[in-house]
Every structure is written in structure tokens, then in C-alpha cells.
Structure 1
Amino acid sequence: MSAQRPTAPTSDTSIDGVWQIALGELDLKMGIKIIEESVDKVVATMPVEGNRQSFGLLHGGASLAVGEAVGSWAAVKHASTMGKSAVGVDVSATHHKGAREGLITITATPISLGRRMASHQVVIENEAGQRLCTLRITNLIIDIKK
């Protein structure tokens, strides 16, 4: 199976040459909403309800999925300033605390923004501002199809 190259952002997903986030199918199913987006920070929210495991807690896989999405969006925003895109190559997470209800906030900030790689820290917090999970994601900066 060969990897597909991302296509160039269309004019409706780009403002001033910087890619604008477009939610995918999983993002919509998880109830993710974009709050803020820039090369310096991407912030999103997601409800715990609908994303819980069988014991009633926020599913760790949901935390990883939303964290990877937000971190990757941040990397693509950076890459788009160079006319490129980004693909994830590594993600790791530490779960600190559980959640049973409410809205979580997911914030990605850069650790390192290079020409070939971008690394971000992603923090997931509950409504009280308590840290639930910390992720680190590294994305490879790649050329895009024109």
C-alpha cells in the first residue's frame, strides 16, 4: 500500500497563503470545534459525551485522536507558509486524569518549527483547567501535489 500525497489546499481553505482547518469525518463524529488557529497556536474543543469508553470515562483513544488532529493541523499551518504540507510520524501521550463529562479544550503549541520537521506539544484540559493529557507529536514537512 503506497502513501498518498496531500493535495494543495484549495482557495477556500487558505487565507493569505496559510491553510485553514477543515474538519474531517472523524472530527465531525467526535464533535470537535475549532476555537483558534494560527501558526503559533491551535485550540479546539470536544465534548466528553459521545467519546467515553465502557467505564464512563473519556476514552484514551479519543484523547489521542483529537490530540493528533490538533497537533497535525498546527504542523500543516506551519508547512503551508512554505507551500508544503505535513504528515504525522510520531505521537506519544501521557494521561494524567480522567473525565466523565463536560467539554475538553485541546491546545497545540510549537516545540520546534523547521523546514523538514515540526514538533508540537498538545495539552488537553477539562473545564476547570486541569490537565487531563499531554501529547507530543512530530510531523514531517512534505511537498504537496499541485
Structure 2
Amino acid sequence: MVFDREKMLLLCNDWSKNTLMQTLEIEYTDAGEDFLVATMPVNSRVHQPMGLLHGGASVALAESVGSAASLMFINPEKQEVRGIEISANHVRSKKEGMVTATAKILHKGASIHLWEIRIEDEKDRLISLCKLTNMVLPRR
């Protein structure tokens, strides 16, 4: 099967309508055979009380891009994906602008996918480093 970048991006952005991803203004912007990229604006909607990017918003971005990325490796008519564990190290703060999350596959098993998600700013500086484990389940 040939990977279709445009189809993948359209699918991810369409599935985001009326969800947390739309609320956070997450947009899927690039995809390849083993990665998926999404952006999220940093503004008061995703700030914590000190005026900085909320760690929970970063984790929501990471889980969104990592879970969507697993769709590349399953048959959505027969299978579905569930995030079962996520960890995040927040290494730099951010007040405004844009962050970009890139999910890259570390392990692609039949039932478990392990993703590394790097969240970076416009200058390619690391904001958060996340690890997401997804379980692949039969669709009910």
C-alpha cells in the first residue's frame, strides 16, 4: 500500500472537528510513512495562570498527534487505537507563538505502538519531550 500524505492530513484534520483538537486549534500539517506533524498556537487559551504554555495543553497536543499517527498502521474499518500511557518532560517554557509536535514511531507492533513526540518552538528549540504508548484493538 502506498502512503498518501494528503489523504492522511485530510483524515486527521477532519476527525478533529468538534473535539479538543479543534478547541486547542491543533492542525495536522505534515505526514510521512513513519511520522506525523501538528501545530498548536500558544496564547491565553492554552496558558496556565503564570501566562505560560500549560503542560496539560502540551500533553494534549502530544497525545493527539501520537494517537492520530497510529492510524497510519491500522485498518480503521477493523481496528481502533487507544492511548494507554503518556509521559512528558517539559524543558522550556513558552508564552506566545506556535509549537510544533512531531511524532516518530519507535516500536510498531501488532498490538502496541510506541511514539516519541518532540514539541518544539519556531526556532526548533525543544519545549517538551513526550513518549506515548498506544494499544491497537479490534473495532467493536
- Give the conservation status (yes or no) of the 8 Å contact 2:77–2:139: no
Partner of 1:23: 16
Higher helix share: 2
Q: Which runs of 5+ in 1 are unaligned?
A: 1-14
Q: Quick check: 106-115 or 29-38, which moved more?
A: 29-38
SS where residue 56 of structure 1 aligns? coil
Count matched residues.
129
Q: Distance in 2 between matches of 1:77 and 1:131?
A: 25
- Give the conservation status (yes or no) of the 8 Å contact 1:38–1:74: no
Partner of 2:105: 110
Is 1:42 aligned to 2:36, yes or no?
yes
- Give the conservation status (yes or no) of the 8 Å contact 2:67–2:83: yes
- With normalisation by structure 1, the TM-score equals 0.82
- Shift >4 Å, 4+ stretches: none
Is 1:91 aligned to 2:82, yes or no?
no
Partner of 1:63: 58
Q: Distance in 1 between matches of 2:31 and 2:75?
A: 13
Identity, in percent, stands at: 30
Is 1:51 aligned to 2:46, yes or no?
yes
Q: CA deviation at 1:43?
A: 0.3
RMSD of aligned residue pairs (Cα, Å): 2.0
- Note the alpha carbon deviations across 1:69-122, whole angstroms, 9 max, x for none: 111111122123794221111110100100001000010000000111000000
Structure 1's 141 and 122: CA in aligned 2 closer, same or farther, altered over 3 A? same
